């Protein structure tokens, strides 16, 4: 049997990456961010110009609460139920 030289051998690693990875689940750690957000909170992404004016969650909440008190009573909605 004739030996094939290294230049003529075919490899499946065309991009240098293996076809499959074996993940070792014994080394896995739990997600440290999974429990950070309470279920009664809502996460909202605000634009960069708005975040320049309201840099903290407290400042956003304060401004929104002031806006809520300025709204007419008929349009006030709490817990998904419209108050009259």
Give residue-wise pLDDT tens across range 60-71: 999 999 999 998
55 found inside a domain: yes
Q: Phi and psi of 78, rounded to 5°?
A: -130, 135
64 found inside a domain: yes
What radius of gyration do the chain's Cα atoms show?
29
Residues 6+ apart with CB under 8 A from 60: 46, 54
Give CA–CA dist 52/46, Å, rounded.
Answer: 10
Confidence band for 2, pLDDT divided at 50, 70 and 90: low
Find tokens 């279920």 and name the residue.
39
63 found inside a domain: yes
Q: What is the pLDDT of residues 35-82, one digit of tens each?
A: 776 777 788 899 999 999 999 999 999 999 999 999 887 655 655 655
E strand spans, the chain: 77-78, 81-82
48 found inside a domain: yes
81 found inside a domain: no
Count of structural domains, the chain? 1
């Amino acid at each position: 049997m004739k030996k094939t030289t290294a230049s003529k051998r075919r490899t499946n690693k065309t991009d240098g990456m293996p076809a499959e990875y074996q993940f070792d689940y014994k080394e896995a750690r739990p997600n440290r961010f999974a429990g950070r957000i309470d279920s009664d909170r809502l996460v909202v992404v605000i634009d960069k110009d708005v975040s320049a004016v309201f840099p903290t969650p407290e400042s956003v909440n304060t401004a929104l609460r002031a806006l809520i008190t300025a709204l007419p009573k008929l349009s006030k909605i709490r817990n998904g139920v419209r108050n009259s």
